[in-house]
Each structure stands twice: as C-alpha cells, then as structure tokens.
Amino acid sequence: MKAMTYRGPYKVRVESKPEPKIEHPNDAIVRVELAAICGSDLHLYHGMMPDTRIGHTFGHEFIGTVTQVGGSVERLRVGDRVMVPFNIYCGSCYFCARGLFSNCHNVNPNATAIGGIYGYSHSTGGYDGGQAEMVRVPFADVGPSVIPDDIADEDALLLTDAFSTGYFGAQLADIGEGDTVVVFGAGPVGLAAARSCWLMGAGRVIVVDHLDYRLQKAREFAYAETVAFTQVGDIVRELKRMTDGLGADAAIDAVGAEADGHVIQHVTSAKLKMQGGSPVALNWAIDSVRKGGTVSVMGAYGPMFSAVRFGDAMNKGLTLRMNQAPVKRQWPRLFEHIRAGYLRPSDLITHRIPLDHIAEGYHLFSTKLDDIIKPVIVPAP
C-alpha cells in the first residue's frame, strides 16, 4: 500500500509499505477514505517531538471503511464506514472507566502520562497513522463509531480530532454566562474552540494570531473579535485594555510548542530543542486572564521543561485545565449541534490534497502558503 513516511525533520514522502494485518483479536483494518494533516503533525514534521522514527506514518485524523475484523470484534462488521478518534484506548482500565480515554493505562508502554495516538511517534505508542491507504485500528469495539447517515464525511473527519479538541478546550475553559474568552491561535483547533465558546455561553470571544488570513477566518467562522499580536506593542497590555483593565475571564492556548512572539523562546525550543515547546502563548494566556480566571491548554507540548510563568498563575489564583481531548466523549453533543445547524466543521477545510502529493501538503501547511487553514488528504481510489 501507499503511505506517508517520515524521513527526518522537514522530510516526508510517499512509499510502499506492507498492508497492516490483524495482530490481535480486537483489531480491525480500515481502508482510509479521507485523512487530514493536523497542526500537531507539524511538530513531528519539524522534529519537535521525541522518538519520531524514520519510516513512521503520521496521521491521527481519518475515516474509512472496515475491510477486516479480528475474531473478538463484535460491534463492527466488514463494510462499515467508520470515524476513528485519534485516541487509542482499551475502554476498561482505571482511566478509561473515568472517561480519560487519552490517558489509557494499557496502550502505551513508552510513557506513563499519555495513552496511545495514531501516527504520533513512539512516545505515544508507535502506532502507524492514517495518512496511508490502510491502517490497523486496535480495540475496534471501543474507539471507532459508524458514521451516522446524516453526518457528512468531511464533518465526521474533522470530529476525529480538530473540532472535538477545540470543543473540549472550550469545555475546559469553564465558561460562565456572558464571560469574555481569549483564544490564542487561529489554526483549526483555535477556530473550533472560538466557535464553541458561544455554545458554552460566552458573551465575548477574542482571537489572537499574527496572520491576516487566519484572523479573517476567525471573524467569519467564529464571529470573534481579533487582535494581531504583531500590530500591538504588548499583547497582554492590549488585552487588559480591551477588558476594562481586569483581563479575560478565561483563556485558551490553542498554539502549543511552536508559538511565535518571542525570539529567545522560539529559538531555544523550536531550533535548539532546549525546551519541550515555546511557552509564549501559554504565558500570554496566564498573564492576560483576570485573577481567579481559567486557562485551558489545548496546544501540544513535548515532555521536556518549558519556561512557564507558573508563579504568576499561582499568585493570581488561576485554574489551569488541560489534557489531550478524549474525543469520543464529545461526539454526541457535536452531532446534535451539527444536526441543529449550529456547526459545520468542514467549513474549516481549505485544501484537498492527493496522498501522492502529501509532501507538498506538509510544505504548504508548514509555511502557511495559499491561505491554508485545514488540509485534507485523499488516498487514490
């Protein structure tokens, strides 16, 4: 089969790999119909995440058709069209029983904090991802769901990570009726979070980024006020000015490890790999939220040290909430929002790229060319 493979920082290509096989009675094999490149895939592409091995296939957002099932699989059949959450989880351990699917204790022998993720390095279990023609899906009775007849394929695809993660970020922000929320980052997750804030009762949503076309998308898609941090002298001071000197009630970091805005932080993290990620957006969130407010962290960071303003958070009495999204928990509500016409996640998609051209897709997304927001990968028929 054809599959995207990692060849080193900034180097990916399509190669022929053996088709995946049933390795456990709970496995299924899925023929991929649509996949996507996630902003967090760019952290892998740029060499930011540890233990990303040559030959690894990325891709944790995909939908497709079941072609094989293991002997113990009861809920899926060959021919079912499924959406697969990016979390790989057993469904029965201490953490899964409490809905913490992203922290499953049984699927990742390489780390104790995070569970398994498709196509996200060996630090999350070493599972090949869905930027390929075929993919092995462990615990097939637990993670995948048959795509509802009234949910469009591209909407289902966006719910496998980006939109569900943004929605979860808004949940973690603990938004009260009429609250002001600042979202850092106008990529797909940030845009999804900003749009979702209204569903949580926000009275005002402000999105911070530095790219004009992404800020325009925030105004059109998320109905948000926008601030370009490159156009103000001090983004924290500007946000305080916009909120009567108090700060926002909640802030959402939807940027993560490669945040721009501070040369030293960016160089020590993205270039020299001395930090687990540039904490610029997170520090802005801590400093711009009001005392007693909440900071929700959706941006991906590596496990290493990062220079976070923890003292400021403590002294301000902030609540910090974060995790990899337990995606499947979000689906019932998101299905209803889509059916009611409140959301259409596929509006975030700007590019549809053949699998054979995935290297060009990564380059476009990495360099923010052609006003790209969300690229979808289409395997050849």
Q: What is the largest CA-CA distance in the chain?
A: 62
The amino acid at residue 158 is L
Stretch (H or E) spanning 31: strand 28-36
The pLDDT, as a whole number, for residue 264 is 46
- Counting Cβ atoms within 10 Å, is residue 271 exposed (0-12), middle (13-18) or buried (19+)? exposed
The pLDDT, as a whole number, for residue 279 is 79
Full strand arrangement of the beta sheet holding 319-322: 225-228, 204-209, 180-184, 248-253, 289-297, 319-322
Encode pLDDT of 166-202 as tens digits.
999 999 999 999 999 999 999 999 999 999 999 999 9
The pLDDT, as a whole number, for residue 3 is 98
Encode the chain (381 residues) as per-residue pLDDT tens digits: 999 999 999 999 999 999 999 999 999 999 999 999 999 999 999 988 889 999 999 999 999 999 999 999 999 999 999 999 999 999 999 999 999 999 999 999 988 888 999 999 999 999 999 999 999 999 999 999 999 999 999 999 999 999 999 999 999 999 999 999 999 999 999 999 999 999 999 999 999 999 999 999 999 999 999 999 999 989 999 999 999 999 999 999 998 756 555 554 555 555 545 455 677 889 999 999 999 999 999 987 766 556 788 888 889 999 999 999 999 999 999 999 999 999 999 999 999 999 999 999 999 999 999 999 999 999 976
Distance CA 348, CA 355 (A): 19
**SS3 category, 342:** coil
